Amino acid sequence: MLQTLPAPHAPKLLSWYDRHHRELPWRVSPAAAKAGKRADPYHVWLSEVMLQQTTVQAVKSYFAKFLTLWPKVTDLAAAPVEDVMAAWAGLGYYARARNLKKCAEAVAAKHGGVFPDTEEGLRALPGIGGYTSAAIAAIAFNRQSAVMDGNVERVISRLHAIDAPLPGSKPLMKAKVAELTPSDRPGDFAQAMMDLGATICTPKRPTCALCPFRDDCLAFAEHDPESFPVKAAKKEKPVRFGAAFVAVTPEGEALLKRRIESGLLGGMTEVPTTAWTSRVDGGTTADHAPFPAGWEACGTVTHVFTHFELRLSVFRALTEKVAVDDGWWEPVTNLETQALPTVMKKAIAQAIPRAFEKHPN
């Protein structure tokens, strides 16, 4: 039987956050905010989009790169889409990059380069959903918005011992977050909940002794925090098969193509592959090569997408230049600058092991 505990209060968490917040490049610290510094909506938006399905550590270098290349949202709006995709390459979930560019263009063209300051206005922008609009509204504009990412889900589910499984329990969790979110410092509160989940209320072996909500937490009182949040059983990911063809000239140029704008890896650069998708297999033999050549098998690479696993048989050929629809020949020494997703880098590296080593100028 669950115990009755005091309701958690935001001031406890904010006091903890003032002392123990993470220092992040896109964040305004509590001390700086108290001194009058305000969060830059462009920085908040850029970081939140990058952090979707991606770790803080992985995002830091990309965030710095984007701000160096495009210091303002209007700069990003004016950038060629190919440059944006190339800068994003390796961060994954490439629809985010396409929507990032569209959103920047919308802010520049329809809002004079200024982000809307409400959840409703933000959500009307391309690529901004419920979570991101709430996060920007709270953190950049100090709106009393209920912000709930995976870290916050874990904290709130443990505080209230919510035993209904995700994703069905999300509305209840969101309501509990809304109840807890204060009108004073809602942006700091949102970031405090994220930090608590990332550093204290972790999925495994949470450090409950250090948690500011320890005395208010039903899961802790029942000695069972790791059982929350409850998740529905995961379906096994299907495995798909295909082939990738790495063609290189004697002069050291590799054949590349650009994928169609829509769908998986849309708009990214690739080596020729067979017609695999998340639902169907593609060909796996040299018979499916883009043109006749001395194709040699050089192994298999595996890449895990969100909903399926892909296994590509990789073939390579030394060849003279051949014209291929929507294709071009790129010096191998330039491959690092291309908008190649990780799965394509894996395929190329399987065929050309030193392709992505740093080359002297």
Could you tell me if residue 359 is inside a domain? Answer: no
Given this model, what pLDDT does residue 359 score? 55
The domain in which residue 278 lies consists of: 239-351
Could you tell me if residue 233 is inside a domain? Answer: no
Could you tell me if residue 69 is inside a domain? Answer: yes
Same domain? For 156 and 265 the reply is no
When divided into structural domains, the chain yields a total of 2
Rounded CA-CA distance 64/26 in Å is 9
Given this model, what pLDDT does residue 340 score? 94
Give the list of residues 6+ apart from residue 112 with CB closer than 8 angstroms, or none: none
Rounded CA-CA distance 174/179 in Å is 9
Where a domain ends, among 206, 227, 248? 227
> What are the tokens at 145?
């918005």
Same domain? For 124 and 215 the reply is yes
Where a domain ends, among 179, 203, 227? 227
- What DSSP string describes 186-214? HHHHHHHHHHHHHHTS-SSS--GGG-TTG
From the candidates 23, 48, 120, 226, which is the catalytic residue? 48
User: 315 near 286, Cβ under 8 Å?
Assistant: yes
Rounded CA-CA distance 75/261 in Å is 22
pLDDT digit string, tens, across residues 88-142 = 998 988 889 999 999 999 999 999 999 999 999 999 999 999 999 999 999 999 9
Could you tell me if residue 360 is inside a domain? Answer: no
Is the four-CA dihedral 74, 75, 80, 83 of positive or negative sign? negative
User: 326 near 298, Cβ under 8 Å?
Assistant: no
Same domain? For 209 and 265 the reply is no
Rounded CA-CA distance 183/23 in Å is 24
Question: What amino acid is encoded at 14 in this protein?
Answer: L
Q: Report the Cα 184 to chain-centroid distance in Å.
A: 29
User: 169 near 27, Cβ under 8 Å?
Assistant: no
Q: Is 179 a catalytic residue?
A: no
Same domain? For 160 and 16 the reply is yes
Same domain? For 249 and 109 the reply is no
Given this model, what pLDDT does residue 6 score? 64
Same domain? For 223 and 261 the reply is no
Could you tell me if residue 286 is inside a domain? Answer: yes
CATH number at residue 148: 1.10.340.30
CATH number at residue 313: 3.90.79.10
Rounded CA-CA distance 284/163 in Å is 45
Could you tell me if residue 356 is inside a domain? Answer: no
Which mean pLDDT values do the consecutive 10-residue runs of the chain (361 residues) have?
67 97 97 96 98 94 98 98 92 90 98 97 96 98 97 97 95 97 96 98 97 96 94 90 98 95 89 96 97 96 95 97 91 93 96 81 48
255, exposed or middle or buried, with CB in 10 Å at 0-12, 13-18, 19+? buried
Given this model, what pLDDT does residue 8 score? 79
Given this model, what pLDDT does residue 1 score? 44
pLDDT digit string, tens, across residues 328-352 = 999 999 999 999 999 999 999 999 9
